[in-house]
Amino acid sequence: MPALDPLEFARGALCAASFAAPDAARETHVARLHNLFEQAGLAASMTDALKTMQFLREAEPLDGGYWIPAPVRTVELGADCCLLVGPQPTPELKRHFASVRRAGSGRVTEPTEAVELPRQSQAAWRGSDGSDARTWTQSVVTSALRQFAPSLVDEGLEVFGTRVWGGTRREPVWVQPRSGAACEWRGVGLFRGRTSATRYRYFLGKFETDTKFLEGHAIHDAARLQFGLAAVQNQPLTITISAASGVTSFSLPLAPPQTVRRLLVALCDPDPRSFGRVWTLHEPTLLPVLLAALRELNCETAHHE
């Protein structure tokens, strides 16, 4: 027998446990879901599977350990394809939409088969504010200029910069403050300080003089700011795109911001060893929508056939 897919099992388990009526769902506690996963021998996979459903906006966690499925709906991906967002397992969706199929962790179908379903814009589903990384970064830095305060340069503090690797590819690098490789705009850079063995805090900062350091507010979307700072300084980071036999692979310089990552998770298969940087697309028809999302990062692209 083929191994159970934890994500599809999570979809089925949540739908079954929360069923109240054909058109209604009730909250279900994570303990009940855990029992179902345990009976199937998938207990170790439950948390990741539920997090994927949450990330794809197929389900939502509530207070007290409860979960509830989200309503099924479509998200436009182009004239001939749409994303089907909902908690139902793919085989169940297949009973109602003949063309539905997995694409990454999400499911896609032909729009003509889902005309009766509610529609959600791609921007709303992704959580996009409509700005590319360059424009967003300029806005963040301009706003932060009024909020800087004197601070100390901690030992081990690093600032974001870029470097050219292999003669053609520009990638991010963390360097010592005041380094010539630092990437700044209006004198402001993205700094990081270690808070544990594997974690950092990210914040804006600038040197007013050689010895006077000013610190700004914390940055929660450090990836987006790295893409933006590089673009503002005309040092865009490089995305490498490889295509062969209808399969396209994307190698990003760092894990993308959440709004772009949500689309990648839905439509592509990740390389689990790449920490969110390498993704593979198996449906050529979905390539334009992914390229449009990646353009929001203001990267340069290198193509390898």
Q: Tell me: the pLDDT tens digits for 184-228?
A: 999 999 999 999 988 999 999 999 887 889 999 999 999 999 999
The answer to whether residue 149 is domain-embedded is yes
Backbone torsion region of residue 246, taken as left when φ is above 0, otherwise alpha when ψ lies between -120 and 50, otherwise beta: left
Mean of all residue pLDDT scores within the chain: 94
Query: How large a percentage of the chain has pLDDT more than 90?
Result: 85
Strands 106-109, 73-78: parallel, antiparallel or unpaired by DSSP? unpaired
Amino acid at 33: L
- Do 28 and 80 have their domain in common? yes
- Co-location of 72 and 7 in the same domain: yes
Give the chain's length: 305
Q: In this structure, are 209 and 281 located in the same domain? A: no
Over the stretch 174-194, which tens digit does the pLDDT of each residue have?
999 887 789 999 999 999 999
Residue 190: give the domain boundaries. Answer: 133-232
Task: Give mean pLDDT, residues 74-98.
Answer: 94
Query: Quick check: is 127 in a domain?
Result: no
Q: Which two tokens stand for residue 259?
A: 């709004």
> 190 has which bridge partners?
204
Q: Are residues 192 and 290 in the same domain?
A: no
Asked whether residue 125 is assigned to any structural domain, the reply reads no
- 103 and 183 inside one domain: no
**Statement to judge: residues 91 and 162 lie in one domain:** no
Q: Is residue 244 part of a domain?
A: yes
DSSP 201-217: EEEEEEESSSS-EEEEE
In sequence order, which ranges of 87-155 are alpha helices (DSSP H)?
A: 90-94, 122-126, 133-144
Which residue among 232, 264, 281 closes a domain?
A: 232
What's the order of all strands across the beta sheet hosting 73-78? 101-103, 106-109, 81-85, 73-78, 119-120
Asked if 2 and 113 sit in the same domain, the reply is: yes
> Over pLDDT 70: what percentage of the chain?
99
Q: Which two tokens stand for residue 79?
A: 């004239």
| Tens-place pLDDT, residues 246-264 | 899 999 999 999 999 999 9
Q: Are residues 38 and 116 in the same domain?
A: yes
| Total-model pTM | 0.93
End-of-domain residue from the set 200, 232, 264: 232
Residues 65, 169: one domain? no
Count of CB atoms within 10 A of residue 49's CB? 22
Three-state DSSP class for 77?
A: strand
Tokens representing 160 are 């974001």
In the predicted model, is pLDDT for residue 295 greater than 50? Answer: yes
The pLDDT value given to residue 305? 60
User: Domain for residue 15, yes or no?
Assistant: yes
Under the banding of pLDDT at 50, 70 and 90, the label for residue 154 is: confident
Q: What is the pLDDT of residue 2?
A: 56
- Domain contains 292: yes
pLDDT at 1: 46
Do residues 2 and 99 both lie within one domain?
Answer: yes
Name which residue leads in pLDDT, 214 or 2.
214
DSSP element (H, E) containing 200: strand 200-207
In a domain, 126, yes or no: no
The whole-angstrom separation of Cα 42 and Cα 10 is 10
CATH at residue 256: 3.40.1170
Residue that is last in its domain, among 193, 212, 232: 232
Q: List helix spans (H) across 127-237.
A: 133-144, 222-232
Instruction: Find the helix or strand (DSSP H, E) in which 126 lies.
Output: helix 122-126
Centroid of chain to Cα 82: 19
Number of domains the chain contains: 3
Which residue type sits at 22? P
**pLDDT tier at 8 (50, 70, 90 boundaries)?**
very high
The two three-digit tokens of residue 265, written as one number? 């998770």
DSSP-based three-state secondary structure for 192: strand
Same domain membership, residue 13 and residue 96: yes
The predicted model gives 119-130 an average pLDDT of 96
Q: Are residues 244 and 213 in the same domain?
A: no
- 110-138 as b/e: b if 16+ CB within 10 A: ebebbeebeebebeebbebeeebbbbbbb
- H or E element in which residue 190 lies: strand 189-194
Residue the block writes with tokens 């509530």: 62
Any domain includes 175: yes
Find the helix packing angle between 30-39 and 6-18, rounded to 10°: 130
